Amino acid sequence: MRRNGWLAGVIGMVVLASALGLGLVGVAAQDGGDGDSEGGDVDYTWSGDVNAPDFPQGADWINVSEPISIDDLRGKVVLLDFWTYGCINCIHNQPAYKDWHERFSSKGAVVLGIHTPEGEGDRKLESIRKALHDQGLAYAVAVDNKKENWTAWANHMWPSVYLIDKEGYVRYWWYGEMNWQGVEGEKWMRSRIQQLLAEPD
């Protein structure tokens, strides 16, 4: 998927901060190159006083028997990934999400995907199911064909991953490929998951 570089990440941060009333603690940025580069990374740290938006009703969910709400996840650390199955940068991040699901599920973390299509070809439910199966991803995924979740989060690129703490507050995010050009984003995010899991209930 194409991204618009560090400036677009900062613009997205401002839009999201405005939409959700964010209190930003700090900003660290990594960029993959020029404005048309793919896979550059931007991560932001939030102050923990922003409620994660709930998932709009009516979405199809895969790998789960019934829809999930943010309230259902209180007491859990949530790793929320915005992706689309045709995005190579998303595919490059998925081994990390699979590892987190396997590593941390028994410790109180939940990995969730939000599949928001880029084009008409990405909207077919059976194609999304097949992609999850082919990539060995067993965690729950909401199908966001109307871009309701995308809009609620003021998201602006694939992939984006957000970390939500046990009280339902957004704490961290990462834009783009986590290990792009040697940036240790996967390691950085994994340490933040461990930090949030260690916090008291």
Residue pLDDT, tens place only, 76-134: 999 999 999 999 999 999 999 999 999 999 999 999 999 999 988 899 999 999 999 99
Confidence of residue 35 (pLDDT cuts 50, 70, 90): very low
CATH number at residue 69: 3.40.30.10
**pTM metric for this prediction:** 0.78
Rounded distance between C-alpha atoms, residue 32 and residue 90, angstroms: 15
Residue 181 belongs to domain spanning? 5-198
Q: Which of 32-36, 131-135, 160-164 has the lowest mean pLDDT?
A: 32-36
User: Can you tell me which residue has the tokens 């048309």?
Assistant: 36
Rounded distance between C-alpha atoms, residue 150 and residue 144, angstroms: 8
- Report how many domains make up the chain: 1
List CB contacts of 54: < 8 A, sequence separation 6 or more: 69, 70, 71, 152
Within the chain, how many helices (H) and strands (E) appear?
Answer: 5, 8
Rounded distance between C-alpha atoms, residue 163 and residue 172, angstroms: 5
**CA dist 144 to 86, 123, 198, Å?**
15, 9, 31
- Would you call 7 helix, strand, or coil by DSSP? helix
Q: Which of 170, 162, 173, 149 is nearest to 51 (CA)?
A: 170
Let me know how long the chain is.
Answer: 201
CB 56 within 8 A of CB 149: yes
